[in-house]
Amino acid sequence: MTRPHLSPLHSPAAATPAGPRRWLDRRRLVHGALLALMLLAPVAADLLGEVYYVNLASRIALVAMAAVGLNLAIGFGGMISFGHAAYFGLGGYVAGISAYHAFDGSLVMGLPGSDDMRVIWLAAVLLCGLLALAIGAISLRTTGVYFIMITLAFAQMVYYFATSWPDYGGEDGLPIYLRNSLPGVDTQDALSFFLICFAGLMLSLALTSRLMKSRFGAALTMARLNETRLATAGISPFPIRLVAFVVSAMITGLAGALYADLNGFVSPSMLSWQLSGELMVIVILGGVGRLYGPLAGAILFVMMETLLGGLTEYWTFFLGLVLLGVVLFARQGVIGWLAGSERHG
């Protein structure tokens, strides 16, 4: 019965009128080029002794990774979360609080702190997963604008909680005096730390890609495109969406933990609605529901912020123009413009 056939997801008829996809087509070329740029630019900067640019690359990689997480919810799951800063910030606070307690030897809820990144990552991923499970279980009972607003409301609750809790710096935030450690790696070294961030980004891309090709991904795609069809086919949409929401939060949370280590500092601004908005802007700029969209979006966003932001404090005006252009003329974002449009789903 099984006939040899091309991927039904990207059937040639719909993906590119040019015919079946070759091994090295434009899309793959663009994706490969983005990753190569992402990896080689900081290596070159490091050779030239430009630590600032290495750290800038780390920042891009982590913002991209956080947006990869958000894209799983928004782009692949159709769940427009306006509250992903909650997970980004929680991840950051896990890194900060754990380092704080490891530093003075005190306990957090009966547990010792740790400055081992592996412990911090695990804790960040688990806690973000739990938070997203609770928030998602309630929020996913709503749709549309209500979902956007309720995810924002939950994130604001986390934000105010952090600002009003003096133990960990409250509004002032919490410094991480010494970057957390990883056995066998000199995390103080900018390039080594960048490579950790880059590995995290690659991992989140690989995970999303694999996930979306699996049965789970097929169900999530159907939940986004036509939930009545999914239910009629015998699969309840709610648990599928909830799990996707949790995985999405975990990825964003892990990026947040690394982000706090990059800056040596975590503050409520990592939990702010502005940050949620920036992540959304990055996803939209890059290309909603495109695997490499968040990477393209993050590069564009951070570069604009750095280059234009250095010239004028009104750089967001230009960001707005670019965003407007993308929304009006390039529905699949920068990545769709670079790599060609792709069938959704």
Partner 1 sequence: MGERVLSISGMSKRFGALQATQDVSLDLHAGEIHALIGPNGAGKSTLIAQIAGSLKPDAGEIRLGERDITALGVARRARLGLGRSFQVSCLAEPLSVLRNVMIGAQALQGHSFRFWRPVDSDPRLLAPAHAALERMHLAHRADTPVAALSHGERRQVEVACALVLEPRALLLDEPMAGLGPEGSARLTELLETLKQEVPILLIEHDMDAVFRLADRISVLVAGRVIAHGDGPTIRRDPRVRDAYLGD
The span from the CA of 48 to the CA of 59, in Å, is 19
- b/e string for 148-172 if b means 16 or more Cβ within 10 A? bebbbebbbebbeebbeeeebbeee
Q: What's the CA gap between 125 and 113, in Å, rounded?
A: 16
> Rounded distance, CA 227 to CA 258, Å?
36
The answer to whether 182 touches 116, Cβ cutoff 8 Å, is yes
The pairs formed by 102-111 with CB atoms below 8 angstroms and a separation of 24 or more are 103/177, 103/178
Looking at beta carbons only, is 202 or 211 nearer to partner 1? 211
Both tokens of residue 253?
């949370």
3-state secondary structure at position 185:
strand
* Smallest gap from residue 160 Cβ to partner 1 (A): 35
Closest approach of partner 1 to the CB of residue 177, in Å: 39
Q: What count of other Cβ atoms lies within 10 Å of the Cβ of residue 217?
A: 21
**Residue 19 CB, nearest distance to partner 1 (Å)?**
13
CB closer to partner 1 out of 12 and 264: 12
Q: Amino acid letter at 204?
A: S
Nearer to partner 1, 122 or 207 (CB): 207
Cβ 206 to partner 1, closest distance in Å?
Answer: 12
The site for partner 1 (CB under 8 A) is made up of 1-3, 5-9, 11-14, 210-211, 213-219, 221-222, 225-226, 228-237, 239-240, 243, 343-345
User: Rounded to the nearest whole angstrom, what is the least distance from the CB of residue 242 to partner 1 in the complex?
Assistant: 11
In the bound state with partner 1, the residue whose beta carbon lies nearer, of 57 and 205, is 205
Cβ at position 67, least distance to partner 1 in Å: 21
Complex with partner 1: residue 153 or 218, whichever CB lies closer: 218
* 212 vs 275, beta carbon nearer partner 1: 212
